[in-house]
Amino acid sequence: MIPVPPAIQRIPWKLIAILSGITGFGLLVLYSAAGGNWSPWALQQGVRFLIFLTAALVIGRFPLRIFEDFSYLAYIGVLLLLLAVELLGFVGGGSQRWLNLGFMNLQPSELMKVTIVVALARFYAQLPPGNTRTFTALWPALVMIGLPAALVMLQPDLGTALSICIGGVVVMFVSGLPFWWFGSAAAVGAAALPILFSFLHDYQQKRVLIFLDPESDPLGAGYHISQSKIAIGSGGIGGKGFLNGSQSHLDYLPEGHTDFIFATMAEEWGLIGGLALLFGFFLLLRWSTRVALKARTRFGQLAATGLTMTIFFYIAINLMMVMGLAPVVGIPLPLFSYGGSSMLTIMTCVGIMLAIENDSKTGTRRFH
């Protein structure tokens, strides 16, 4: 046997293969969406992936301790950034989400998706076991989730706010808070839906209503969903073939390279391509779930579960949206959609989970 140097052994080849597989497939779709061109999307996306992947691998070498120690600081920092967005962020695409840092446009709400999970994991890791079923276990978490979620809703960005909430709630759930709290919260939430609905912006309300009855606006907001379903449905089992999708190439599918990229892919690759991509995501999530189950520290367990959920939420909401199962909310498909912010978030999650994985390989497990 050829001896493999430990430095190379330590590189998570399997994970890199999964990530590259998904992104590589995405690059083919972007190449096709640009009418058979590497520009303007595919090449840039590829370069960006390489940079972020390297960054994730580097983050993964950091000791886990650092993330735990800096989690509150990071949380407060990102919260301040969100406040700054409210105060001096600029308006783009009808909502106020970005901070212009000069060299790039930063979207702090994306950072919050990661930060909230890490901060809550830290909180529950520190919480004495005996307090798990007390009010002490509840209210700080609710405040920590509520503040950023409210700020993001003000932007307004319903998708990201939901993502922050779901990441936080999952951390609360796996940290062992009483089951019935979630059950009753869900019941209250369901009852309060009409009230919550009234807090939504007009255009968000419209999206929800149109989602419930797409025929009411076939040329307006319902257009996205129906064209997306046409693209997916017309692909059939085998698809129309690479570079042969008419829906995306003839501009019938809006946002065919970002939010609706799955439809672009499904039209040309069919059900087979769709299932392959789902399988890729399954492998990624299975890896991250295993990282959580094998984590050596409680912080690692909770953070990994929450980050898995964050990635999953992206995938699930995006796919439900393009298949007409959810209203149109601006959530990209991880690694697949063209765009830097979401890839940055996903790769940060992956990096932190790599750190958790490395941590559990080095030390002894404290839990069963």
Partner 1 sequence: MPRKKLPPITEAFRGITFTRRALVVGGAQAAVGVALAARMAYISVVDNDRYVLESESNRVNLTLVPPRRGWIVDRSGKALANNRVSLRIDIIPDRLHNKEMVLGQLQTLLRLDGDTMERINRDLKAASGFQPVAIKEDMTEAEYSSILVRLPELSGIAPQRGFARNYPTGAAVGHLIGYVGAPNAEEYQKVKDPLYITPGYKIGKDGLEKYFQDMLKGQPGARRVEVTARGKVVRDLSTQPDVQGKTVHLTIDADLQEFVARRMGRESGAAVVIDCQNGDILSFVSMPSFDPNSFSDGISSSEYAWLRADDHQPLINKATRGLYPPGSTLKPVAAIAAIEHGIDPSERHTCIGGYRLGSRFFRCLGRHGSVDMATAIMKSCNSYFYWVAHRLGYDAIAPTAKLMGLGEEFQLAGSNQRFGTIPDSAWKMKKYDQPWSASDSLNAVIGQGYVSVNPLQLAVMTARIASGRRLYPRLVNRQFKNDPLPFSAEALATARHGMDLVVNEPGGTAGRSKLPLDGITMAGKTGTAQVRGLNTGNGKAGTWKFRDHGLFIGFAPVDNPRYATAVVIEHGMGGSRAAAPVAKDFMTFLFDREKAMEALATFEAGWGGTIKERMDRDYAAWKAGASKPDPDLAQ
* 33 φψ region: left (φ > 0), alpha (ψ -120 to 50), beta (else): alpha
Asked if 302 touches partner 1 (CB under 8 A), the answer is yes
Among 211, 312, 336, 338, binds partner 1 (CB under 8 A): 312
Asked if 202 touches partner 1 (CB under 8 A), the answer is no
Q: Are 228 and 260 in contact (CB under 8 A)?
A: yes
Asked if 350 touches partner 1 (CB under 8 A), the answer is no
Q: In angstroms, what is the C-alpha Rg of the chain?
A: 21
- How many residues make contact with partner 1 (CB under 8 A)? 52
Asked if 336 touches partner 1 (CB under 8 A), the answer is no
Residues 270 and 263: their CA atoms lie apart, in Å, by 9
Minimum CB separation of residue 172 from partner 1 in Å reads 10
Among 16, 252, 330, 339, binds partner 1 (CB under 8 A): 252
Minimum CB separation of residue 245 from partner 1 in Å reads 9
Residues 84 and 108: their CA atoms lie apart, in Å, by 9
- Candidate ranges 45-53, 72-80, 250-258, 351-359; the one touching partner 1 (CB under 8 A): 250-258
Decide: helix, strand or coil at residue 185. helix
Q: Are 109 and 59 in contact (CB under 8 A)?
A: no
Residues 42 and 48: their CA atoms lie apart, in Å, by 10
Minimum CB separation of residue 50 from partner 1 in Å reads 28
Decide: helix, strand or coil at residue 92. strand
φ, ψ of residue 94 to 5 degrees: the values are: 85, -5
Residues 11 and 7: their CA atoms lie apart, in Å, by 7
Residues 221 and 4: their CA atoms lie apart, in Å, by 55
- Candidate ranges 16-24, 63-71, 266-274, 330-338; the one touching partner 1 (CB under 8 A): 266-274
- Candidate ranges 26-34, 99-107, 203-211, 316-324; the one touching partner 1 (CB under 8 A): 316-324
Alpha-carbon dihedral sign for residues 40, 44, 49, 55: negative
Among 42, 151, 164, 266, binds partner 1 (CB under 8 A): 266
Angle between helices 108-126 and 340-362 (to 10 degrees): 30
Among 43, 105, 285, 330, binds partner 1 (CB under 8 A): 285
Buried/exposed code over 253-262 (b: 16+ C-beta within 10 A; e: otherwise) = bebbbbbbbb
Q: Are 119 and 144 in contact (CB under 8 A)?
A: yes
Asked if 242 touches partner 1 (CB under 8 A), the answer is no
Asked if 319 touches partner 1 (CB under 8 A), the answer is yes
Asked if 185 touches partner 1 (CB under 8 A), the answer is no
Amino acid at 40: P
Minimum CB separation of residue 302 from partner 1 in Å reads 8
Asked if 246 touches partner 1 (CB under 8 A), the answer is yes
Asked if 282 touches partner 1 (CB under 8 A), the answer is yes
Window 12-71: residues binding partner 1 (CB under 8 A): none
* Residue whose entry in the numeric block shows the structure tokens 């990441």: 167
Among 218, 278, 362, 363, binds partner 1 (CB under 8 A): 278
Residues in the chain, how many?
368
- Residue with smaller CB distance to partner 1, 82 or 277: 277
Asked if 289 touches partner 1 (CB under 8 A), the answer is yes
Contacts to partner 1 by CB under 8 A: 129-130, 132-133, 170, 173-176, 227, 229-237, 246-247, 250-252, 266-267, 270-271, 274-275, 278, 281-282, 285, 289, 292-293, 298, 301-302, 305, 308-309, 312, 316, 319-320, 323, 325, 366-368
